Structure 1
Amino acid sequence: MIGWWVAPEYRRWQARSSHEKVEASTRWMLAAYAWLTVLGFVVQLVPNTDRGALADTLAWAVFGTGLVQCLVCTGVLHQALDTYLGTRTVAPRQLALPAALVGAMTALTLTLAALDAVEGGGLAVGLALHGTTAPFAVVFGVTVGRGRVAVALCGFLAALLAGLAATGMPWSGVLAALVIACLGTVLSVFTARSSAWYIAVIRELEEARGVQARLAVTEERLRFSRDLHDVMGRNLSAIALKSELAAQLARRGGAEEASVEQMTEVQRIARESQSEVRAVVRGYRDVDLATELQGARGILRAAGVDCRADNGGSRLPVPVQAALGWVVREGATNVLRHADATWCTVWVGADSAGGTALLVMENDGVRAASGAGGRKGSGLEGLRERLDGVGGTLRVERDEERGTFRLTAQVPLGAEDARRAGRQGGADGTHGTNAADAKSGDGARRANGEDTPGGRDLEDGTGRSGAREPGTYGKDTAE
């Protein structure tokens, strides 16, 4: 029965992004703080009363009222936090009931102190008063501004001092109870406001991350438009002028030869423009594997993802590197847009025996199952089409238990290219094993002299290790 409820909740939790998990856990811990103060400090009045049935009844009344206050304040807490964040507001009447409960609990606690029915004197009374004010202080502290909180706190402490003095307690006990209640209330307000501020900062960072991605796209569009304008602006102006001149010559009559000459020049400029536009677009369409690996590593680290890349395919044929470069580009885009990853590894190698190049890209950003592909010609479907053009394959693997997502791309090499890649990989000393071994992890372990699961650790030049070759990563799932 418990598993039937826990499994869906766990899947919903895993589907949340990092900032959503942080915000939810912060809200829960703030609610738990209020409950723990009541259960830890107010309840100690029950076993520490020694004046008969009346004192026991008052102690239980204080504890019961504290539980009711916790229930009411927990119901208002999320709305109070949203008030601090500026998304909702709490009506003053919603704070009236918790405030009345605080007053009732304080009066009952002071009555117990006046009856001298609390063992521990001022210390026990002060702890009980701390538990009394904590739930309401958490809600009130994030609902109103700091100035109003300070005024309300000073007024409450003044009234509390008068009440403690009226109980007939020794002044040492009065001061002890007042100091503990004051520190506890200030702590509750500080905890609430700092937690709300923390949530606000997390939201701002997430929004800034989205803005940064949109700015990067806008900058790329501006760069492309600038390059296209530089290439086409002059040529289009020349075409327009020469076409107009040819039309005027044709209207005059007797200038057919000059008109034909102008139109021939227009044709030449148009063909040149076509070639130049193709060159511009080719610069955006052609990809280089080393450049894409470097770019993916930089942009993922800027987004807070620890990206490690091991380029064993630096000497692969240019067409193969271009095909694998597209896999790296699309994989990095998917990590940024559709994953919630903290690390990402990319491994490239060549299988000299099988005559194929292999790229494995893995991250820990799996969310709830959703369509991995995109519309035809884009996303993973577009990658499959590109790899089909060079005889390659793309395999997608998800491990829900480990929370990992892996792209595996294989591109065939020519016979001579395969032999060359195998010789160069062996000369490098780190990629002499074939890619089939790399997929199982055995080749990577043999190359490093290790026999541990998961392959060897990789380093990115910073001295840190943690990215791993694709050895026994997770379990394979259906494509």
Structure 2
Amino acid sequence: MRRPSHWWRGKSTLAKVETYTRWSFHFFPVVEIAAIGLPVFGQVGAGFAVWLVLPLCAHAVLCGVTASRSLDWTRGTREQPVRLLVGLGAASALLGTFAIGLVEHGPGGKDTAAAAVPLCVGVLVFGTGTLALGIRGRLRVLGIVFGFAAYTGVMAVALGLDGRAALGTAFAVLLGGGGLTFTSVFSVWLLDAVYELDAARETRTRLAVAEERLRFGRDLHDVMGRNLAVIALKSELAVQLARRERPEAVDQMIEVQRIAGESQREVRAVVRGYREADLGAELSGAQGVLTAAGVDCSVTGSATGLPPAVQSALGWVVREATTNVLRHGDARRCRVTLAPSRDHVVLTVENDGAERASQERAGGHGAPGSGSGLAGLRERLAAVAGTLEAGPVDGGLFRVVAEVPLPPASSSSAPPSDTVSRSVSEEVTP
């Protein structure tokens, strides 16, 4: 069985915000019963207190159900719970009126009045705050708050309370209902804002991918467009010369063959440049992407002086590790360290989401360490005699370590680990 801490850490930031918001409003019925209902037993007789607390409990449960359905409507998974909202409003008004009537007409005198006034105010305050979850529009929300306050004052006077008591009760409903309504409206706004930010981040990622595809398409067009046009023209000329049995047709076809071979080499160069990863650009890009995703990312070390083949292999390690952080978890911190020495260079990518990764492994979603991504990295590193280790370590961390030996020519020029550390904090683990 999962411990509560595992259950909570296993959620994404988005899910945590929604869970916190929902359970806050689910806890309100408990607060309503504990703060209003339990003191009644100390103020009036036990038999009469039961008859007061039972309707209060029913009202609290109705508030909880209405809050849950209203939040579902906010997220677009249900229709607006109009019947529940109307029923809650009517139940709050009736129970509040009943409690006001007990002040002057209930048994027990002052004791009953001392229990009835908090009951009236509490029911109307919690009812107003819950109704605000299922209604949109500033004027409508304000209308509910002031409407319940005015209704309380009018009914208090009509049921025999003096003007000062009626005004005080109405003001208490206005103040308490306004405060809880503000909490409800702000919570819904915050939840919507978090979802919109998450959607914007996904959109930005898709746009970045689309931009890279367009760039690659432009590069291919620039390389192939002119050469294909020349090939088509010279082929047509060779056909015409061949029909006339002119020997120049052979020369034109040889030229076509030469241009085709040149085009093939240029396309390979474009693809090779597209596939090869520049380590410096990957380190900078990883920090930018992780920071945009809300991960506190620090990058330490310099790629200057490393051989191109080593930079390409390590660049792919950075790219894959960053992708796994974003795809598989909810990390808060990530540390990337590049440490070149005389005969080898070590790249370490470490984040605090190992526990999330183990839960995904148990759920059948695949482990970052066992996926085809890291297997492909091992193949790339093997081409430069490098090794790769990946897995959880003590302290709830997940660490990826790539070590590549340096050839003698480059090891002498490899810089000492001149650390340039940049830490950025703005709002995921293999």
TM range (shorter): 0.7 to 0.9
SS at 1:145's partner residue?
Answer: coil
> Aligned residue for 1:405?
398
CA distance in 2, matches of 1:459, 1:278: 36
Q: 2:314 aligns with which of 320, 324, 336?
A: 324
Following superposition of structure 1 onto structure 2, how do residues 296-375 of structure 1 map, counting pairs within 5 Å?
A: 296-311=286-301, 314-350=304-340, 352=342, 355-366=343-354, 367=356, 368-370=359-361, 371-373=366-368
Cα shift at 1:127: 3.8
CA distance in 1, matches of 2:110, 2:405: 83
How big is each residue's C-alpha offset from its partner over 1:258-283, in whole Å with a ceiling of 9 and x where there is no partner?
Answer: 11111111111112211211221222
Residue 460 of structure 1 aligns with an amino acid whose one-letter code is R
Residue 294 of structure 2 aligns with an amino acid whose one-letter code is G
Q: Is the 8 A contact 2:298 2:423 kept in 1?
A: no
SS at 2:215's partner residue?
Answer: helix
Residue 53 of structure 2 aligns with an amino acid whose one-letter code is F
Cα shift at 1:246: 1.0
Q: Is the 8 A contact 1:62 1:108 kept in 2?
A: no
How big is each residue's C-alpha offset from its partner over 1:434-454, in whole Å with a ceiling of 9 and x where there is no partner?
Answer: xxxxxxxxxxxxxxxxxxxxx
Cα shift at 1:302: 2.4
Q: 1:109 aligns with which of 92, 99, 120?
A: 99
Q: Is the 8 A contact 1:126 1:176 kept in 2?
A: no
CA distance in 1, matches of 2:370, 2:306: 30
Confirm whether residue 137 of structure 1 aligns to residue 128 of structure 2: yes
CA distance in 1, matches of 2:121, 2:33: 8
Distance change (3 Å), C-alpha of 1:160 and 1:382: same
Q: 1:387 aligns with which of 381, 396, 399?
A: 381
> Aligned residue for 1:436?
none
Q: Is the 8 A contact 1:288 1:322 kept in 2?
A: yes
Distance change (3 Å), C-alpha of 1:38 and 1:461: closer
TM-score, normalising length from structure 2? 0.86
Cα shift at 1:154: 4.1
TM-score, normalising length from structure 1? 0.78
Q: 1:267 aligns with which of 250, 253, 257?
A: 257
SS at 2:347's partner residue?
Answer: strand
Q: Is the 8 A contact 2:100 2:117 kept in 1?
A: no
CA distance in 2, matches of 1:380, 1:201: 35
Cα shift at 1:340: 1.8
Distance change (3 Å), C-alpha of 1:149 and 1:415: closer
Cα shift at 1:409: 0.7
Confirm whether residue 175 of structure 1 aligns to residue 170 of structure 2: no
CA distance in 2, matches of 1:106, 1:461: 56
Question: Which blocks of at least 5 consecutive residues in structure 1 are unaligned?
Answer: 432-457, 465-479
Q: 1:82 aligns with which of 62, 65, 72?
A: 72
Q: Is the 8 A contact 1:35 1:135 kept in 2?
A: no
Distance change (3 Å), C-alpha of 1:413 and 1:152: closer
Q: 1:226 aligns with which of 210, 218, 226?
A: 218
Residue 295 of structure 1 aligns with an amino acid whose one-letter code is G
The count of residues paired between Structure 1 and Structure 2 equals: 415
Residue 159 of structure 1 aligns with an amino acid whose one-letter code is Y
Cα shift at 1:301: 1.7
> Aligned residue for 1:16?
11
Whose RCO is larger (CA < 8 A, sep 6+)? 2
CA distance in 1, matches of 2:368, 2:187: 39
SS at 2:338's partner residue?
Answer: strand
CA distance in 2, matches of 1:402, 1:68: 47
Following superposition of structure 1 onto structure 2, how do residues 173-322 of structure 1 map, counting pairs within 5 Å?
A: 173-252=165-244, 254-255=245-246, 257-311=247-301, 314-322=304-312
Q: 1:46 aligns with which of 25, 41, 49?
A: 41
Q: Is the 8 A contact 1:69 1:135 kept in 2?
A: no
Distance change (3 Å), C-alpha of 1:273 and 1:419: closer
Cα shift at 1:210: 0.6
Q: Is the 8 A contact 1:306 1:344 kept in 2?
A: yes
Cα shift at 1:161: 1.5
SS at 2:385's partner residue?
Answer: coil
CA distance in 2, matches of 1:189, 1:229: 59
Distance change (3 Å), C-alpha of 1:369 and 1:153: closer
SS at 1:314's partner residue?
Answer: coil
SS at 1:319's partner residue?
Answer: helix
Q: Is the 8 A contact 1:343 1:363 kept in 2?
A: yes
Q: Is the 8 A contact 2:152 2:173 kept in 1?
A: no
SS at 1:46's partner residue?
Answer: helix
SS at 2:277's partner residue?
Answer: coil
CA distance in 2, matches of 1:461, 1:64: 56
CA distance in 1, matches of 2:347, 2:233: 52
Distance change (3 Å), C-alpha of 1:258 and 1:459: closer
> Aligned residue for 1:452?
none
Cα shift at 1:28: 0.9
383-392 vs 70-79, which deviates more? Answer: 70-79
Distance change (3 Å), C-alpha of 1:176 and 1:60: farther
How big is each residue's C-alpha offset from its partner over 1:7-47, in whole Å with a ceiling of 9 and x where there is no partner?
Answer: 2x543432221111111101111222343244223433332
Residue identity over aligned pairs, in percent, reads: 39
Residue 136 of structure 1 aligns with an amino acid whose one-letter code is G
CA distance in 2, matches of 1:117, 1:314: 87
Question: Which blocks of at least 5 consecutive residues in structure 2 are unaligned?
Answer: 426-430
CA distance in 1, matches of 2:203, 2:303: 34
How big is each residue's C-alpha offset from its partner over 1:283-341, in whole Å with a ceiling of 9 and x where there is no partner?
Answer: 21222222221221122222222211111553333322222121112112222233322
CA distance in 2, matches of 1:186, 1:415: 74
